[in-house]
Amino acid sequence: MIRILPGVGARVVVEDVTRTYDGSVTALAGVSFELAAGTFTALVGPSGCGKSTLLNLLGALDTASSGRVVVDGRDLARLGESDRDEYRLRRAGTVFQFFNLLPTMTAVENVALPLLLAGVPSGAADERAAAALISVGLAGKERAYPYQLSGGQMQRVAVARAVINGPALLLADEPTGNLDSKAGAQVLELIASLVRERGLTAVMATHSEKAAAYATRELHLLDGRLAP
């Protein structure tokens, strides 16, 4: 398993959050919930229901129009730009549907990048990144470029990169959307194992009930609201 600090899961509180764009398009309309540390929650709903908007708020990539998003007691809207960058680097890792690997960098270089940004010396960063790739079943692929990997392999690289700095929160936006059923199951089990074995808090947006079944809790969204 990927080496991260034990017991680092975040507690998340979302209080009456709204997000409106251009003053007229409402993506979220009064969403409230709490997530205990070390849990795996699936945000389930069709396209356009607000899942990705909510993940962006949790990842400090966006701010709410009203309400609060609080992670481990910190109101994310109150963070300055440098603190938001630091939060994304060390406290909240994200896995995207389209992998977002840098095409000119090898697998080990992609995984090592967050370590380098955090000030880890290059030799140590490469060593930790190589160990992380082995732990996600990619031994021998350290020097492969993204175009030389399958979709499932690229997503496992992306998971390793997202958690290499030991974040408290892992956000996954449709992580199996571009994968076949076998590769998707491997990625979902990897995320679930990080929650079980390391106490990480994970939040996954998905339209798939089959994918949501890997989570320990489901929250259903429709038209920007939590469904009863």
Q: 178 in helix, strand or coil?
A: coil
The model's pTM? 0.92
Nearest to 169, CA basis, from 56, 85, 90? 90
Residue 46, pLDDT above cutoff 60: yes
171-196 pLDDT, tens digit each? 999 999 889 999 999 999 999 999 99
Q: What is the pLDDT of residue 193?
A: 92
Q: Which residue has the tokens 């992998």?
A: 99
- Dihedral of CA atoms 53, 59, 60, 62 in degrees, nearest 10, equals -20
Domains parsed from the chain with CATH numbers: 12-226 (3.40.50.300)
With cut-offs at 50, 70 and 90, classify the pLDDT of residue 105.
very high
Give DSSP secondary structure letters for 68-98.
Answer: EEEETTEEGGG--HHHHHHIIIIIEEEE-TT
